[in-house]
Amino acid sequence: MLRNRRIWLALSLLVVILLLAACGGAQVEKVGEPTQAPTEAPTKAPEPTKAPAATEAPAEDQGPAKAPSGEPVKIGAVMPLSAPGSVTGGKAMQAAFEIAAEEINAAGGILGRPLELIMEDTEGLPERGAAVMEKLISQDQVVAVVGEYHSSVGLAEMEVAHDNHIPIVFAETWNDKITASRYPEVFRVAPLSSEVAQLDTDFIASLGVKKVVIMTENTDYGIPAAEKTTEKLKDRGIEAVTFSADPGTQDFSSIIERIKGESPELILVLLTGETSFNFEQQAAEAGIGPQDVAMICNQVAADSESFWKNVPDGNFCFYRQVGLPPVLWTDKTKAFAEKYTAKTGEATPPSYAMEAYDSLWVMVTAINNAGSTDPDAIIEALENISYEGALGTITFPVNSKNPPEKAGKEDKWWHQFPDFAAVFIQYQQKGQMSSDAPVVFPDKFKTADPILP
Amino acid sequence: MTHPSIFWYTLLWLILWGAIGALITPRVYARKDKFTHQTALLGSFIGAALGPIGLILLWIFTPQLTAKWLLGSGLIALFWLALAFAKAAPENLCVTSGSFVATQIANGLVIGSIYGLMALGLTLIFSILGIVSFAHGEFYMLGGMVTYYFTQVWFPDLSPLLGVAAAALFTFLLGALFELLFLRPMITGQIERPGEYAILVTFGLAFFLQYTTLSLVGASPKKVPRFFDYPKITVPSGTGEIIKITPGNLTFFDTISISSPRFTALIIALILLFALLYFLYKTWTGKALRAVSQDRQAAAVTGINPKRMNTLAFALGGMLAGISGASLVQVFSWVPWVGIPASSRSFVIIVLGGMGSLPGAFIGGLILGVVEALGAGCVPDPHRAAAYLPAYGMIILVLVLLLKPTGLFGREL
């Protein structure tokens, strides 16, 4: 009997742990709950006191920060934190949000009140993204939402935001359709898929290749991106053949044999996360790696430590980096990079971390400018914003006062951050750090010539 | 495809006569008072292979069913399909290049043998405990993770084989512990609905292991460098070489190329397979395991402790998945959710091979590996070829379930 009881005890204990683990999906983190909140005298000072804010340096140009007090202002943040979503991307965004939230609360919060950031896992599933948005809006009553990594999920979330009239700033969803919807609530700091395809095309054409194989992801990001690139390459007289695979595919051997049969002069990898690493290393083992054929690897290659561990034969990989190249980093980018490295141990923050960081700061700045949490006021403030962030100066020039027709732009530029920078970088030595790897395109940022195998 | 209509009409023809054969043959056999067992399967194969003429001959002579009939007619049907494909898509690499097809099949067999090893664990658990472990993919994931931490982080100079052994030991103990704590109450009658309980508790274990690992090791992909760098050898040297080995790749007969980490994984899988066969067929404990899988009560009468066999089977099953993972962590990038597609593939394999059948699991793995490789290699539209990867297994699965619901090697009910 005693033994049985002990087993049951262990069992119930494990069930509790299991439940906790299962609930881990929905992470409610009160990041940076104001550490220097006036807990000593909350009744004395209902209005934020002028008391100097602790020892932490206040953010620049915010003036002496007041400690936020009162009822917290809730903002939702969405990102994939479990498979089939890109957990690598989601975790980086999570770290960036935490950094931004801490800074915001240290700099006086929102409207003098503390920021409560509610982070939710979308698992990379559109239906889950929509459900999480409903939960954030109806249950947590957030005033705004920021984040998201996957376009397919973003497309679902944007509908919920529109139906409930809650402003949302998308961080890393590239699909043109998101801003082309022209929903008043939808803003984006990520680049446009079609514009990135243009940059890819310009780069590929500059290398003088005639036959390209595109290895893409079978998703709302990968398929349109491959189609746009193919179309644009065709205009330049470059032939492109597209292969696609589901995210999470491990074994690429049969596809690699087919790619060999196409004898490409360049391979463009639009797979993401560890799936891209799997493809790149297996291609190298089969003799069509970056050392044999010019290869544009996925941007996750920017995480050099992880890249060299997973793709040891990946020297001469090109990769596209969205966001300012290190030579053009602003003070804000440098400060963020330093905090990001301290928090995660990664040498440089990936673009989606910078975008996540900026998306939250943009939203908070807009609410502060609006002076209220009313959705219409926030949207108006976002349309008028000019915010110095890690990505550069963020503005949304095509908006309700300057609609696409008037601006002479396509619908996709609606509420879109137009000045995103993107460059091509190449690893030119085995084991090189991404901060040391030279920029090879476009010419205005170039620090070295591309090396072709 | 240049002439897609040739292929699709042939396919339609095969399906039409296959269906007619499957529907009518059992009735003909029944009317003639002959044994109707599996005649639907035979009828569909003969119909697909030889069309109306074959079917009429079959219905006239109604021969006694043997495996030769099935295999022969199945191969003929496959031949028609392949011929139609070759006529329909004469420019396809699968038609023009023999070495391409050979490489695809070889790669399919290599990866299939590891799928098979993993499925072997799942089918072993099913045959003894009568449950499907939904946490099987997580054992696979842990096998790779343990190998990575042993050989890369904790003991950087450790031989990779010891890393694999550590992974085997870890997954074995974890399996045993889990069985003792959570599955034992099932057979001691403490659980009211053991079937549902088994599903829920193994699902729970899967989530627990996946998210615990994620929080412990993080999301960034891990990988072990290839276990062994093969020496550069060419036999015989000069042209027309039979085997050419470089550190990263092996080429046989100048046509079939297999990357060396995959080859290492294959060797590990084969050694393990033979060790397992020896254990199951030559040792007392192995025979006891098989006895329990055949008849629990009868085994208990002869002095075998079925409870202990349960623990052993679950631990062994987990270990097989763990070793599959350990041998593949040098081939693929490893993340905590790597087990999800692997476990669903194992489910396909064991249903294909026959639930609880050990040879079925291994051969099912090989079949799935080859079908996936040929599917991804031959489907004409490059855009779809690899995106359909999970579908190829499903097509085979649906066919098997339609024609032979017990699976290829399943025990007859």
The percentage of chain A sitting over the pLDDT mark of 90, rounded to a whole number, equals: 25
**Same domain for B104 and B87:** no
**Same domain for B323 and B186:** yes
State which of B91, B106, B136 marks the end of a domain. Answer: B91
A350 contacts on B by Cβ (under 8 Å): none
A347 SS3 class: coil
CA distance A61 to chain B (A): 36
Is B410 within a domain? no
Residue whose C-alpha is closest to residue A180's, from A410, A4, A436: A410
Per-residue pLDDT tens over the stretch A262-305:
889 999 999 988 889 999 999 988 888 888 889 999 888 888 88
Is B119 within a domain? yes
Q: Are A311 and A292 in contact (CB under 8 A)?
A: no
Check pLDDT > 80 for residue A106.
yes
**Same domain for B144 and B220:** yes
Which one of A88, A245, A262 has the shortest CB-CB distance to B386?
A245
In angstroms, rounded to a whole number, what is the distance separating the alpha carbons of residues B13 and B19? 10
Is B237 within a domain? no
pLDDT of residue A7: 54
**Same domain for B206 and B76:** no
Cβ–Cβ of A255/B386 closer than 8 Å? yes
Cβ–Cβ of A82/B214 closer than 8 Å? yes
The percentage of chain A sitting over the pLDDT mark of 70, rounded to a whole number, equals: 85
Q: Tell me, which fold does domain A194-321+422-445 have in CATH? A: Rossmann fold (3.40.50)
Which one of A7, A262, A309 has the shortest CB-CB distance to B222?
A309
Check pLDDT > 60 for residue A31.
no
Q: Which chain A residue has its CA at the smallest distance from B342's CA?
A: A250
pLDDT of residue A391: 84
Indicate the domain borders of chain A: 194-321+422-445
**Same domain for B176 and B137:** yes
For residue A241, list its beta bridge partners: A213
Residue A377: phi and psi, rounded to 5, are -65, -40
Taking the CB of residue A449, how many other CB atoms lie within 10 A of it? 11
Cβ–Cβ of B249/A284 closer than 8 Å? no
Residues 274-293 of B with CB under 8 A from A: none
In angstroms, rounded to a whole number, what is the distance separating the alpha carbons of residues A273 and A297? 11
Interface test with A, best of B223, B345, B370 (most A CBs within 10 A): B223
B361 SS3 class: helix
Cβ–Cβ of B382/A242 closer than 8 Å? yes
- Amino acid (one-letter) located at B139: F
Residue B94 in tokens: 């699968």
**Same domain for B275 and B196:** yes
B208 contacts on A by Cβ (under 8 Å): 14, 17-18, 21
In angstroms, rounded to a whole number, what is the distance separating the alpha carbons of residues A385 and A394? 7
Helix (H) or strand (E) holding A119: strand A115-121
pLDDT of residue B239: 63
State which of B91, B108, B137 marks the end of a domain. Answer: B91
- Decide if B219 touches A, using CB distance below 8 A: yes
Is B376 within a domain? yes
- Amino acid (one-letter) located at A12: S
Q: Which chain A residue has its CA at the smallest distance from B338's CA?
A: A248
Helix (H) or strand (E) holding A217: strand A211-217
**Same domain for B326 and B398:** yes
**Same domain for B217 and B290:** yes
A243 contacts on B by Cβ (under 8 Å): 382-383, 385-386
**Same domain for B373 and B327:** yes
Cβ–Cβ of A286/B111 closer than 8 Å? no
A14 contacts on B by Cβ (under 8 Å): 181-182, 208
- Amino acid (one-letter) located at B138: E
Q: Looking at this predicted complex, what is its ipTM?
A: 0.86
Cβ–Cβ of A82/B211 closer than 8 Å? yes
- Amino acid (one-letter) located at A300: V
The pTM (predicted TM-score) of the whole model is 0.78
B222 contacts on A by Cβ (under 8 Å): 309-310
In angstroms, rounded to a whole number, what is the distance separating the alpha carbons of residues A285 and A291? 10
- Locate the DSSP E strands across B253-397: 256-259
Per the prediction, chain A carries an average pLDDT of 81
Q: Are A145 and A76 in contact (CB under 8 A)?
A: yes
For chain B, what is the domain count? 2
pLDDT of residue A66: 64
pLDDT of residue A30: 39
**Same domain for B153 and B58:** no
User: How far, CA to CA in Å, does A21 sit from each of A16, A17, A26, A131, A372?
Assistant: 9, 6, 10, 20, 37
**Same domain for B213 and B122:** yes
Cβ–Cβ of B204/A242 closer than 8 Å? no
pLDDT of residue A51: 39
Q: Domain containing B208: what range?
A: 98-231+258-403
Which one of B372, B375, B387 has the shortest CB-CB distance to A246?
B387
Cβ–Cβ of B337/A91 closer than 8 Å? no
Cβ–Cβ of B386/A17 closer than 8 Å? no
pLDDT of residue A119: 93
CA distance A251 to chain B (A): 8
pLDDT of residue A47: 41
Taking the CB of residue A18, how many other CB atoms lie within 10 A of it? 18
Residue A256 in tokens: 């690699």
What are the pLDDT tens digits along chain B (413 aa)?
778 888 888 889 989 998 898 888 888 888 888 877 778 888 888 888 888 888 888 888 877 777 788 888 888 988 988 888 888 887 777 777 778 888 889 889 999 999 999 999 999 999 888 888 999 999 999 999 999 999 988 988 888 889 999 999 999 999 999 999 988 888 887 888 888 888 899 999 999 999 899 888 887 888 888 888 777 777 776 666 677 777 777 887 777 888 888 888 999 989 988 999 899 899 999 999 888 888 888 888 988 888 888 899 999 999 999 999 999 999 899 989 889 888 888 988 988 888 888 888 889 999 999 998 888 888 888 788 777 887 888 888 888 888 787 888 876 65
Which one of B185, B207, B387 has the shortest CB-CB distance to A21?
B207
Cβ–Cβ of A21/B212 closer than 8 Å? yes
Per-residue pLDDT tens over the stretch A15-27:
544 444 444 333 4
A276 contacts on B by Cβ (under 8 Å): none
- Total beta-carbon pairs less than 8 A apart between chain A and chain B: 153
**Same domain for B292 and B221:** yes
Local confidence band at A52 (pLDDT 50, 70, 90 cut-offs): very low
Cβ–Cβ of B261/A21 closer than 8 Å? no
Local confidence band at A43 (pLDDT 50, 70, 90 cut-offs): very low
Which one of A83, A285, A306 has the shortest CB-CB distance to B221?
A306
Check pLDDT > 50 for residue A63.
no
Place of tokens 């940076």: A32
CA distance B151 to chain A (A): 13
Helix (H) or strand (E) holding A285: helix A273-285
B383 contacts on A by Cβ (under 8 Å): 242-244
